[in-house]
Each structure stands twice: as structure tokens, then as C-alpha cells.
Amino acid sequence: MPLLNLTLKVWRQENATSEGRIETYEAKEIPTSASFLEMIDIVNERLIKDGQQEPIHFDHDCREGICGMCSMTINGVPHSKERGITTCQLHMRKFSDGETIWIEPFRANAFPVIKDLVTDRSSFDRIIGAGGYISVRTGSAPDAHAIQIPKPDADAAFDAAACIGCGACVAACKNASAMLFVSAKASHLNHLPQGQAEKDQRVLGMVGQMDEEGFGNCTNQYECEAVCPKEISTDHIAKLNRDYLAASARDSVS
């Protein structure tokens, strides 16, 4: 099995209030079949064994490209330069022997660093709490064909629902805008009949919470779409802008 010898430049930060710094580590004899997170696991095991420094802290959960936890910037690009994948889906065969890899946390005021590569992205949770849901009675699931949904609407809703809330769009945007995330979460429900009753409330609430969290404005440069691991289209941002204008107009006369 081919092995790689790499140099890692890793952001280390003890806590949210301390100053961070770049530390250098040698990642030797890394299998090309290993994932990027498995590579960090190998480095951490060696750090623990040597007992000279704390292991590198980073977020992870499913390691299957579903949960969105594995958020880090690799060589300046959220989730790496490979398109349509999360960090945990990146494999070391994409790198060359002797390469230097820079690893940093996602950068945004609304994503404060907790420790090393771990950031607090609970701002996304608060945006969802401001309107990313529908109000229905709980109980047994309704029949799948009880509400007929046109296929174009179902497809658009499904595409938006693919968003895993990782925050790569924010990290890539020079303004740290969360518009792609917010538009995907709103568009998912706004395309469906079940979401129409609370559509205006949803859009106004989520955009208002986004602004309150300190995310920047969208200037339509499409970095968000380029790094999104689920390749969410910026068309959803256009829909959110239209829905927001209509909701604001109706709210002003109500």
C-alpha cells in the first residue's frame, strides 16, 4: 500500500478567548487509502503516545458525508478543493508525497472557535428555531399520497433539503453570509403545500435571526455554491429574496 509523508500546518487554540497559532506536525507513513479524518486520527494517536502535546481537536460524527460536523478549511478551501464532498469523504490519495497541508477552522464571527478546529455553529440552530419547521399535529404518519405535490416542486424541495448545515458556504464567503444555508432551509418548506401556511412568518423570522447572529450580506459571488458539499444552487437565494420582499410587503399592510 502506498504511504505518504506529509507536513501539516494546523491551527491550535486552547479556548475561545486565547490567541491561536499555527503549529507544524509531521504526518509520516499515512496510507493513501485513509480518509482525511483518519489521517488526523493517526497523527493524534502518535501525539498521545509521545505525551508531548494535546491531540488536535476537531469535529466529527457520522464520517459518511451526512451530518456536516467535519468542518475545517484545507489549504484555504472549506472541505478542500474537491467538489461535492465533505472533509470526511476526502481521501489521502488526493495528496502527493511530501506535500504541506494547511488545516484551519471555519472563519466567521458567527462561528467562534471553541478549541483548535472546533467552532460553535449553534447560530444555525437558532436560525432553524426561528422558522425552519412546520406546525402540524403529531401522531401517525399521513398517507403518502394524501397531498399531491407537482414533481418540479418536489424535486426543488428535495434539492434544498439536501443541505447538511455544515457552514462551508459561510466560511467561503468574504462577507460570511449565511444566505445559501437560510435559503435552502426556507426553500425546502416553501416549495411544499405543507409549508405555505407559515411561509411569510418563516422567511421573516429566519432572515431576521440570520441578521441578529451577525452574518454578512450576500454579494452574489457564488463562492458558497462552489464549496457546498451537496452542491446547493444559488437559485434558492433568488427565491428567498423574492419570498422575503413579498412577505415584507404583506407584513407592512397587515
**For residue 58, what is the domain's CATH number?**
3.10.20.30
- The confidence score (pLDDT) of residue 1 equals 72
- The confidence score (pLDDT) of residue 144 equals 74
Give the integer Cα–Cα distance in Å for 37 and 35.
5
Q: Domain check: are 102 and 135 in the same one?
A: no
- The confidence score (pLDDT) of residue 51 equals 85
- The confidence score (pLDDT) of residue 26 equals 96
Last residue of a domain, one of 97, 114, 131: 114
Other Cβ atoms within 10 Å of 99 Cβ, number: 15
pTM value > 0.85: yes
Domain that holds residue 204: 122-253
Contact 135, 190 (CB under 8 A): no
Q: Domain check: are 31 and 150 in the same one?
A: no
Cα three-residue angle 7-167-202, rounded to 5 degrees = 180
Could you write out the three-class secondary structure of 112-140? CEEECCEECCHHHHHHHHCCCCCCCCCCC
Contact 120, 112 (CB under 8 A): yes
- The confidence score (pLDDT) of residue 63 equals 95
**6: its cell numbers:** 506529509
Q: Domain check: are 94 and 205 in the same one?
A: no
Last residue of a domain, one of 51, 81, 114: 114
Q: Domain check: are 148 and 60 in the same one?
A: no
- The confidence score (pLDDT) of residue 145 equals 79
Q: Domain check: are 92 and 146 in the same one?
A: no
**244: its cell numbers:** 422575503
- The confidence score (pLDDT) of residue 253 equals 86
- The confidence score (pLDDT) of residue 162 equals 97
**159: its cell numbers:** 434539492
Handedness of CA 32, 62, 111, 157 (dihedral sign): positive
Q: For the segment 58-89, what is each residue's pLDDT rounded down to a tens digit?
A: 999 999 999 999 999 999 999 999 999 999 99
- The confidence score (pLDDT) of residue 123 equals 98
Q: Domain check: are 246 and 130 in the same one?
A: yes
Q: Please give the distance of CA 208 from its chain centroid, rounded to a whole number.
A: 20
Where the chain has pLDDT below 50, the residues are none
Number of domains in the chain: 2
Q: Domain check: are 160 and 235 in the same one?
A: yes
